[in-house]
Amino acid sequence: MKKVMLLVVGILFAGSASSASLTLSEDGVSGASQDVSEFNNNGALATGGGGTDGSETWASAFGLTTTEDTMANVLWTFNPEANLQSATVGIGSDSVDDYIQTWNITGNFLFSFLFEADEYYWVDIFNAESNGLEYDVSVSAVPVPAALFLFAPALLGFFGLRRKAAVAA
């Protein structure tokens, strides 16, 4: 019976290992270009370009949804990075109706965020000043290590052996 219970617990852990599906969409642009391409079911990539001279400011906005609550990394990269004088990156949500967090940046930038299922988020770059550059924004789910699903059944086994030794004594 214990083996059956351990098998059921193992199956439950394995079932929750499936990663969330992230969807990135174009949500608006000003003085820049943007293009979204899904590269797999748990990540998305967008590319674009902005600014033709140092005095021009531009903005690019993306919508983001997920099928499950998931931690995801959002990475902004710029080519050439030196051409970005300044910009603001922000993340917001329809439930908050404003930016949850903003950062002033002058180069490549990575942040992690816990996205809730069926909530609409926006990931924006705005007030960007640059001399003609290309940017990439990628959103990817943070994977749950496979070792976690091996570790839990091992712990359950140790507790079972400990209990068996106590009963035998």
At 34 the pLDDT is: 85
pLDDT on residue 105: 94
Tell me, what's the pLDDT at 121?
A: 94
Which residue do the tokens 């106590």 mark?
A: 166
Q: What integer pLDDT is reported at residue 148 of this predicted model? A: 59
36, 23 contact by CB (below 8 A): no
Specify the pLDDT at position 119: 93
Banded pLDDT at 55 (limits 50, 70, 90):
low
pLDDT number for residue 40: 59
Which of these, 49, 122, 58, lies nearest to 87 by C-alpha position?
58
| pLDDT the model gives residue 16 | 45
